Structure 1
């Protein structure tokens, strides 16, 4: 599935009672910012390559963290990464993220499920890790 097809498929769809607001982001690589209804505070960024569909939500920046609790945060992130459905934790640049990847042959229903799950997981993680923020 390519980015244009995803834009059309998501823009007029609902999944699990959720709607999707899709906004293309201009840049070197085609990226969609997808806001899932009920999880507006955690938009998901989606890009498509030949090998994967990558969905990513930003949690917080390194500068927002209490440096004295950084090791504890990392330990808890590693523990939570295994039981969290369809999502993994990571860091890109100074940004801590939650992400998921799908096959580029995934159908619209699987992609919508990933978007809903990732947005919900991002909200849960923000609540879980709020004590680590400065």
Structure 2
């Protein structure tokens, strides 16, 4: 069984250059930090890369959406209600907030395969674009 760092390196090598079922072309790079992060860039969607971390209990995939200051103040509460309402119908993804940054994320078991991770990246990328399109009116342009 691979330790989290080895699994992250394995995923980086396995995903780099892959084209998903939805024709998304992936590029990977490991960002060294206290807990290394796998950055998955998606051709034609460079503004919304997927960040992947691996620990003993899960594989976490997330994409940044917008910051607190990007929200129209008068629509802040309505946006929060909308995000909560979208959590269930949004397949395989959920919304959260880290500091002042809103994110969309999905999680997998540590025993997930490369193919399952590719599908998660595919879904999360599509869901990120859908969220931005659906919620654009709440944001300061």
If the TM-score is normalised by the length of the shorter chain, which range does it land in? over 0.9
Residues 6-57 of structure 1, C-alpha deviations (whole Å, 9 max, x = no match): 0111014222032211011121111011012343321000010000000000
Number of equivalenced pairs: 134
Residue 136 (structure 2) aligns with: 130
| Structure 1 counterpart of 2:47, from 30, 33, 41 | 41
Aligned CA-pair RMSD: 1.2
Residues 51-101 of structure 1, C-alpha deviations (whole Å, 9 max, x = no match): 000000000000111111111001110111101111000101100000000
Residue 19 (structure 2) aligns with: 14
Residue 8 (structure 2) aligns with: 3
What is the alpha-carbon distance in structure 1 between the residues aligned to residue 127 and residue 139 of structure 2? 18
**Where does structure 1 lack aligned partners over 5 or more consecutive residues?**
none
Residue 30 (structure 2) aligns with: 24
Using CA pairs below 8 Å that are at least 6 residues apart, which structure has the higher relative contact order? 1
What is the alpha-carbon distance in structure 2 between the residues aligned to residue 122 and residue 91 of structure 1? 14
Instruction: Work out whether 1:112 is the aligned partner of 2:118.
Output: yes
What is the alpha-carbon distance in structure 2 between the residues aligned to residue 124 and residue 40 of structure 1? 15
- In the superposition, the TM-score normalised over structure 1's length comes to 0.95
Residue 79 (structure 2) aligns with: 73
**Where does structure 2 lack aligned partners over 5 or more consecutive residues?**
none
| Bigger proportion of residues as strand | 1
